[in-house]
Structure 1
Amino acid sequence: MSWTATVRYGLEPAPGGLALVQDLLNTLSAGRPRRPDLLESVEEAGAWLDQALESWSGATHLPAPGIDLTAEDVQGLRDFRHDLNRLVQAPTSDSSPQTGPVASLMTLPTALRLDEHGRIQAEPRGTGWRQVASLTLIEAYQAQCTDTLRRLKTCRNPRCATSFYDRSRNNSGAWHDVRVCGNAANLRNYRARKRAGAERA
């Protein structure tokens, strides 16, 4: 398996199908230095999606659906990615959690069926970006049910913005890499406090 969008940032993929959610988020142009947006064109988006579905199939042991994307689908997928990112952003001390309706996430079709083993399975519906989004939300919902979705976060460094899976014992991670983003932010905060102290003196 190779989650190309996530691995290019030197990150370890989230477990199971949640890695699809993470990988979609990491198609964004992010990191330091900035990597290209993998949803920039139909060709790039199609190449990413083919690889991501193959990796998803390997992680979940389910057959990968065949999904074709048009130029309109790529824009829809970018919009969905933006809305999805709002849902997983880690709250910071100077910002409140995102609130309000997220339009593209509210009308995605999904079907439930009983398989031959008596288990209820959720299946994505729709075509193009809606099918990708439906599959992604199914994985996010399943992770929510197992209380692992909260471990999928966006790096608090706005200059980075990569999505990482927090494997810390108490789920306290805020940076995709403490050495790269955490230390730089802590140094900026330290210098700001020092300046503020000097101005008060």
Structure 2
Amino acid sequence: MFSYHGGSLWLDFVNTQSLHEGEVREGLPELIDLHTWLQGAGVEGLVLDEEAFARLKDLRAILRRIAEEGGVSAERRAWLNEQLTALPGTWRLTEDARAEFTPRGTPLAKMNWLLLHSLLDYLTHGQPARLKKCGNHQCIQYYYDTSKNNTRRWCKMESCGNREKARRHHHRHKSSASQEDSTP
């Protein structure tokens, strides 16, 4: 039901919306759908309520705008810093000398932290040119291109890539057939 091809949690969450016949389709119409998505994304133990669900959808809209823009403006950076400052949690140094943050608080605060941490990781370690929208004009999915030469074009080759290739093949053969028909 859900695809996890974005390359990071925040993009996979953005991708819970899709395009069908020109209309945006909500992949999370009910709270139970969010819990199913969380389980598939490997996020365990969070039980969210309807209010948290609505707030996460608001966050998803902001994350989608960040994906569309390919980065953060000064205004979005201020918003992100405000959100990060408000998240409760504890930092600790691990045995292998890594800083580790453990979120505390409500399930919503923990989910916000997971999504914002994923975004922050992209903003600090990612390459903006590798954040791409699917090359299929009928798709609104985003992904982080990890291909060696930065040449990935589709969110998923099995669906969008094949569909687009079949469409072009059909168009080419239709064009050549109509040219043959018009030749005396």
Question: Do they fold alike, i.e. is TM over 0.5?
Answer: yes
- TM-score, normalization by structure 1: 0.60
Higher strand share: 2
Higher helix share: 2
Report the equivalent of 1:45: 34
Report the equivalent of 2:83: 107
CA contact (8 A) 1:154 1:163 kept: yes
Unaligned 5+ segments in structure 1 are 55-63, 92-96, 188-201
Residues 1-201 of structure 1 correspond to what in structure 2 (within 5 A)?
Answer: 5-7=2-4, 12-14=5-7, 18=8, 20-28=9-17, 30-33=18-21, 36-54=25-43, 64=44, 66-89=45-68, 99=73, 101-102=75-76, 105=80, 106-108=82-84, 109=87, 111-148=90-127, 151-155=130-134, 159-169=138-148, 171=150, 176=155, 177=160, 180=163
* Sequence identity percentage: 26
Residues 168 and 83 (structure 1), Cα distance of their counterparts in 2 relative to 1, 3 Å cut: same
Offset from partner CA, 1:48-79 (integer Å, 9 cap, x none): 1122235xxxxxxxxx4x21111111110100
CA contact (8 A) 2:27 2:33 kept: yes
CA contact (8 A) 2:15 2:142 kept: yes
Q: How far apart are residue 144 of structure 1 and its match? A: 3.2
- TM-score, normalization by structure 2: 0.64
Residues 180 and 100 (structure 1), Cα distance of their counterparts in 2 relative to 1, 3 Å cut: farther
| AA at the equivalent of 1:89 | E
Larger Rg: 2
| AA at the equivalent of 1:115 | T
Number of residue equivalences:
158
Unaligned 5+ segments in structure 2 are 172-184
CA contact (8 A) 1:38 1:48 kept: no
